[in-house]
Amino acid sequence: MSETPLPNAWPQPYRLLDAQPYWDALAEEKLTYQRCTACSETVWPAHSFCTRCGEKSLAWTQSSGRG
């Protein structure tokens, strides 16, 4: 007898408040990430500030898909 895996049986990622724009874009099949507008650092996972320079001005950027 084989067991059928349950849907959503895999661990699910936490939905952090700072990452809501990521999840919204993902629902539209778009991959996005944050970039600091002050130092251009890519910020991942989503934060409310740049993890490099501390600036709070972050912009969501759509991935080119060429990764």
DSSP codes of every residue in 7-52: TT-SPPPP--GGGHHHHHHHHTT--EEEEETTT--EE-S--SS-TT
**pLDDT number for residue 24:** 93
Does position 64 have pLDDT exceeding 60, yes or no?
yes
**pLDDT number for residue 14:** 65
Does position 2 have pLDDT exceeding 60, yes or no?
no
Question: Tokens 């952090």 identify what position?
Answer: 16
**pLDDT number for residue 33:** 95
The 10s digit of each residue's pLDDT in 18-50 is: 899 999 999 999 999 999 999 999 999 899 999
Calpha distance 14→23 (Å, rounded): 11
pTM over 0.75: no
